[in-house]
Amino acid sequence: MVGAGAAGLWAAGVCAAAGARTLVIEKTPRTGTKVLASGGTRCNLTTTLGPREAAKLFGPSAARFLTPAFLALPPAAVRARFHALGVPTKTEEALEKVFPVSDSARQVRDALERHARANGAEFLFNQGVRGVRRTEAGWSVSIPAGTVHCDKLLLCVGGKSYPKTGTTGDGYAWLRALKLHVVDPVPALVPLVSSAAWVHELTGVSLDAEARIGTSRRRRPTLFTHVGLSGPAPMDVSVHVSRSSGPVDVLLDLLPDHTWEDLRGLLIDAAGRRGGPHIAGLLPLPRRLIEAVCVQAGLAPNPRAFDLSKASRHRLVETLKGLPVPITGTTGFKKAEVTAGGLQLASVDRKTMEVRGHAGLYVFGELLDLTGPIGGLNFQAAFATAELAGRHATRAE
């Protein structure tokens, strides 16, 4: 196996527990570097959602691909497995997240490594794989220390985000050399960059908003930063910024619990009172944000409702329900939690993770063209695809 990240550790446990001789080759001096950094070092290891709901969040074709893996290892089974490994979990229901009770990503990583080792898996560190090749007997893997031969080769070297953690996109070249199609890797779950001064002036403002780009939308916490936008909602739609050829507007629904009609009614009511309230006194939003919204709607920073014409009321509601934030790009792979793109899903048998036309080669985890939103979904995908690969690579022929 190549890669001792989330997927590699999980698969190593499955393979070793099935009695297979298991060697994990890892480029860095340790296992699970990204697991250690995950969830602000708390490790959001899976989701409270059911398997089908969780798979849906990856988009239609990825959901179809992931469903067998998520049914084979549903989120609840991930939690049960961690519990059996001595890592009880707890939930943060509002955002459907699951964490270890200890809030310790290290405990998660250690439990996975301990389980794999206890079943006989061996690890080779500081060995960056240079290439893989098909041989008559199976597969060979070229490493600085020489060549390793194996019957079954499991590749889980991740993507190219957070390259400091060891993931520099090495696997893509190996797959291309095998004439496999790699969907162009781009940064995902990444903060968004804006060059608009009014956006920077809102640094520190945070709220529960719905971010939209095209048909993609996600309601989650949203944060204005000195760079642009961050937080789960903007980051969840960031892949569309990465894939767009130029600047785009991200639309923010700043009051997702209020309909257009609610807001229009509120403004009309308040407008009936001469000398009545200013807009900032009417809406449950930070004053700085309301002032910016009014200006973006072409109004004075904080007018009285009474002073708004019908047209300006309409523009204000329109801006509150879809504030256009001009975005020039993302902060790139360096700050991306995951990589979108990777081995195209059509090349892989979704029930086994074996690569079509390449018997004995299994690809899973983030190296596949799969990206879920924030919320433990990406570990869920890494673990579930690793489970299938491990089970099938070790099954009796």
Least Å from the CB of residue 332 to ligand FAD: 13
One residue of 6, 235, 263, 316 binding ligand FAD per CB under 6 A: 6
* CB-closest chain residue to ligand FAD: 5
CA 392 to chain centre: 26
Task: Please identify, using beta-carbon distances, which residue of 235 and 293 lies nearer to ligand FAD.
Answer: 235
Task: Quote the CA–CA distance of 371 and 237 in Å, as a whole number.
Answer: 11
Residues 111-170 that bind ligand FAD (CB under 6 A): 128-129, 156-158, 161-162, 166-167, 170
Number of H helices, E strands in the chain: 14, 19
Paired tokens of 233: 């909602």
One residue of 121, 341, 379, 384 binding ligand FAD per CB under 6 A: 379
One residue of 33, 89, 238, 347 binding ligand FAD per CB under 6 A: 33
Least Å from the CB of residue 379 to ligand FAD: 3
* Strand-pair partners of 382: none
Task: Quote the CA–CA distance of 129 and 115 in Å, as a whole number.
Answer: 24
* Backbone angles phi and psi of 276, in degrees to 5: -70, -165
How many Cα atoms are found within 13 Å in the side-chain-facing hemisphere of 133? 11
Reported residue count of the chain is 397
One residue of 43, 63, 207, 235 binding ligand FAD per CB under 6 A: 43
One residue of 13, 15, 20, 34 binding ligand FAD per CB under 6 A: 34
Paired tokens of 242: 């990465």
For tokens 């993770």, the residue is 353
Task: Please identify, using beta-carbon distances, which residue of 7 and 290 lies nearer to ligand FAD.
Answer: 7
Residues 329-348 that bind ligand FAD (CB under 6 A): 337-338
Task: Please identify, using beta-carbon distances, which residue of 20 and 57 lies nearer to ligand FAD.
Answer: 57
One residue of 110, 354, 366, 387 binding ligand FAD per CB under 6 A: 366
**Helix (H/G/I), strand (E/B), else coil: 124:** strand
Task: Please identify, using beta-carbon distances, which residue of 11 and 263 lies nearer to ligand FAD.
Answer: 11
Least Å from the CB of residue 338 to ligand FAD: 5
Task: Please identify, using beta-carbon distances, which residue of 5 and 13 lies nearer to ligand FAD.
Answer: 5
One residue of 22, 26, 51, 209 binding ligand FAD per CB under 6 A: 26
How many Cα atoms are found within 13 Å in the side-chain-facing hemisphere of 14? 24
> How far is CA 114 from each of CA 2, 267, 364, rounded to the nearest angstrom?
18, 61, 21
For tokens 């971010």, the residue is 211
Least Å from the CB of residue 119 to ligand FAD: 18
> How far is CA 327 from each of CA 27, 240, 241, rounded to the nearest angstrom?
36, 11, 8
Task: Quote the CA–CA distance of 64 and 294 in Å, as a whole number.
Answer: 44
- With beta carbons less than 8 A apart as the criterion, state whether 39 and 105 touch: yes
Paired tokens of 260: 């257009």
One residue of 28, 91, 140, 142 binding ligand FAD per CB under 6 A: 28
For tokens 């047209």, the residue is 311
Least Å from the CB of residue 308 to ligand FAD: 44
Least Å from the CB of residue 162 to ligand FAD: 4
Q: List interacting residues with ligand FAD (CB under 6 A).
A: 2-8, 25-28, 33-34, 37-39, 43-44, 128-129, 156-158, 161-162, 166-167, 170, 337-338, 365-366, 376-379, 382
